[in-house]
Amino acid sequence: MKKALFIGGTGTISTAVVERLAKERHWEIWLLNRGNRKADVPDGVHQIIADINMEEDVAAKIKDLTFDAVCEFIGFTVNNH
């Protein structure tokens, strides 16, 4: 079985991808997010509640986990210059 971690996983694009992979028998799906949209998490999907900006907390929560794929669909910083 392959394991995928989605940073977020409940946004406009990632929700559809998570729902599709959750139907596959050979994928174990994990979401790392703040837990604000629990209703959007499909059955059987694991959720790690954390703020990705709190690096030490995230590191502690995923320290014993490994993943075959890590996905983040909106990874940018607005440049105000």
d(CA 15, CA 22): 10
Task: For residue 26, give every residue at least 6 positions away whose Cβ sits within 8 Å of its Cβ, in sequence order, or none.
Answer: 1, 2
Q: Decide if 4 contacts 69 (C-beta within 8 A).
A: yes
Helix (H/G/I), strand (E/B), else coil: 59 = helix
Q: pLDDT for 28-64, tens place per residue?
A: 999 999 999 888 899 999 999 999 999 999 999 999 9
d(CA 4, CA 79): 30
Q: pLDDT for 10-38, tens place per residue?
A: 988 899 999 999 999 999 999 999 999 88
- The pTM assigned to this predicted structure is 0.87
